[in-house]
Amino acid sequence: MFTHPAKVCMTYFQHCKFSLKLCLLFLKGAFFAFIHSFIPDLFITSSTNINFTIKKLISESGCRNSEI
């Protein structure tokens, strides 16, 4: 039933923890972007910084499988 975690070389719980970490980063990014939309002088680089963090985490996690 849950085959995706194995395809990316993670256990179910490793995948769950990783996905929750991404979720928190997305929420943080959404919050900062929302504030930035009304007060442009706040959180000027937060979206870029969070994007780089997420890209780095994804590129360093699990393994890369052509079946994904």
Q: What is the DSSP string of the chain?
A: ---HHHHTT--HHHHHHHHHHHHHHHHHHHHHHHHHHH-TTSSTTHHHHHHHHHHHHHHHSS---TT-
What pLDDT shows up at residue 68?
47
For each of the chain's 68 residues, which pLDDT tens digit applies?
A: 789 999 999 999 999 999 999 999 999 999 999 999 999 999 999 999 999 999 999 999 988 655 54
Residue 2, number of CB atoms within 10 A of its CB: 8
What pLDDT shows up at residue 38?
98
* pTM to 2 decimal places: 0.82
Q: Distance between CA atoms of 4 and 12, rounded to whole angstroms?
A: 9
What pLDDT shows up at residue 67?
52
